[in-house]
Amino acid sequence: MTGIAKKMWLLAVALPLAGWSATASAGNSMPTGGRATQPVGHYEFCQREPQQCRQVTARHAPVELSRKLWAAMVEVNDQVNAQVSPRTDMEMWGREEFWSYPDGFGDCEDYVLEKRRELMKLGIPAGDLLITVVRQPNGDGHAVLTVRTGQGDYVLDNLEPRVLAWSDTEYTYLKRQSDRNSGAWVTINDGRAIAVGSVASR
């Protein structure tokens, strides 16, 4: 049993049912629309890591939000946030929008990539682990990991220690990976949008 898997099991056993139910009470799902442009950083990541962008799945129901899944989400969010120190792409690479798996340091997209990888190792389908582009209240762009569940969509964030329903955050949601094709992106229909670095739809 891996370290994350063991901690996840212990946390799931330790969580009181009432407390877990209150924390992970049914949220709601993001209203998504049509095809969106792929962020430049993700496009270039896919050129370097093509196997991570070829995950195509048939339409399927979201994973059920069990106590075990909730424990995994909390543990992975905590562990990656603790293990990775924030650095901008400019500080690390001398350029903007360079998405990569973190090696002790990373920016928001790198945290997301690592959390997605760790949750996939635990058996959570790629189609339920979606990189998501948002706008912060101060107008800055940001990325979070959306976990799509039968009880709503939840967000893992390097700026927030809690795992929250997407609707309980202060972000404006712009677009995310398609749940059917990890190399494609779809819009999020919250009625707001800003310009972000992207490439034309392919």
| pLDDT surpassing 80 at residue 138 | yes
In a domain, 87, yes or no: yes
Q: Looking at the domain assignment, is residue 51 inside a domain? A: yes
Per the structure, the complete domain to which residue 152 belongs is given by: 35-199
pLDDT bucket at 127, cuts 50 / 70 / 90? very high
The answer to the question of residue 13 being in a domain is: no
pLDDT for 18: 40
Whole-angstrom distance, CA of residue 2 vs CA of residue 57: 27
**Predicted confidence band of residue 80 (pLDDT cuts 50, 70, 90):** very high
**Burial bucket for residue 26 (CB in 10 Å: 0-12, 13-18, 19+):** exposed
| CA 146/CA 125 separation, integer angstroms | 12
Minimal CA–CA distance to 130: which of 55, 40, 28, 20?
55
Instruction: Return the pLDDT at 1.
Output: 47
Whether 145 is in a domain gets the answer: yes
Under 8 Å between Cβ of 172 and 152? no
Answering whether pTM is above 0.75, one says yes
User: What is residue 112's predicted lDDT score, i.e. its pLDDT?
Assistant: 99
Model confidence at 201: pLDDT above 80: no
CA distance 137 to 140: 7
> Which pLDDT tens digit goes with each residue over 6-45?
554 444 444 544 445 545 544 589 999 999 999 999 999 9
> pLDDT-based confidence at 200, cuts 50/70/90?
very low
Average pLDDT of the chain? 86
Look up the CATH number of the domain holding residue 139: 3.10.620.30
Dump pLDDT digits (tens) for 142-159: 999 999 999 999 999 999
Q: Is residue 9 part of a domain?
A: no
Give the containing element (helix H, strand E) for 20. Answer: helix 17-23
Count of domains forming the chain = 1
Checking if the pLDDT of 197 tops 60, the result is no
Q: Quick one: average pLDDT of 117-137?
A: 97
Beta strands 85-86; 160-165: pairing state: unpaired
Residue 173 falls inside a structural domain? yes
45-79 pLDDT, tens digit each: 999 999 999 888 778 899 999 999 999 999 999 99
